[in-house]
Amino acid sequence: MNIIDPGFILGHYNYWVAIILIMIGLYTMIAKRNLIKKFIGLNIIETAIFLFYISLGDVTGGIAPIFAEGSTNPPDAVILYANPLPSAMMLTAIVVTLCMTALALSFAVLIYRRYKTLDARRLMELL
């Protein structure tokens, strides 16, 4: 496969954007010292991962996996549906992300209340 092929690059553009967003989020998490900034980076990484999975399940010319009301028969092969499994798994992942963010932020509030700083390096000195 030719890496320089423009069709190859354009055919994967969602994946490239997801990778770039993961890189931005990871850089935020490693390089920034403010705890809340780190959590923002974490959120960016997570949405990028969702984007990656949702792109996996999509199919060109397909429609959302919701059947029209009243049709009880299984769909005929003519209609293409997007794969519902990545959607369902990412729905669970979004819940876990929300819980993680909430818990992390409440820890940050408690840390600030006690040590009066959110700077990771200063916290390491204080601890």
Partner 1 sequence: MIWILNGALLLTLIVLALWALKSRDLLVSAMILSLYSFLMAIIYAQLNSPDIALTEAAVGAGITTVLFILAIQKTRRTEEETDDDQLQIGPLCVVLTIGAVLALAVAGMPAFGSPDSPGATVTGNLYLEEGQATTGVANIVTAIIAYYRSFDTLGEITVIFAVGIAIIGLYLKKQEGFDDDE
Partner 2 sequence: MTMNDDLIVRTVTRRMIPFLLLFGAYILLHGHIGAGGGFQAGIIITSAIILAAIGGDLKEIRSALSCRTLFAIGAVGSVGITLVGILGILAGGWFFQYGSLPLPYSQEIIHLIAITCVEIGIGVAVFGMMFLIFIAIAGGEE
Tokens found for residue 55: 């792109």
- Verify binding: residue 117, partner 1, rule CB under 8 A: yes
User: Applying CB under 8 A, which of residues 92, 124, 125, 127 lies at the interface with partner 1?
Assistant: 92
126 binds, options partner 1, partner 2, none, Cβ within 5 to 8 A by partner type: none
CA distances from 26 to 20, 67, 97 (A): 10, 39, 16
Which residue's CB is nearer to partner 2, number 56 or number 105? 105
User: Applying CB under 8 A, which of residues 13, 124, 125, 127 lies at the interface with partner 1?
Assistant: 13
Tokens found for residue 87: 């959607």
Nearest to 45 by CA among 67, 66, 70, 19: 19
Q: How far apart are CA 51 and CA 17, in angstroms?
A: 9
Ranges within 79-118 binding partner 2 (CB under 8 A): 91, 94-95, 98, 102, 105-106, 109
Quick check: helix, strand or coil at residue 119? strand
42 binds, options partner 1, partner 2, none, Cβ within 5 to 8 A by partner type: none
Taken in order 13, 53, 84, 98, is the CA torsion positive or negative?
A: negative
19 binds, options partner 1, partner 2, none, Cβ within 5 to 8 A by partner type: partner 1
85 binds, options partner 2, partner 1, none, Cβ within 5 to 8 A by partner type: partner 1
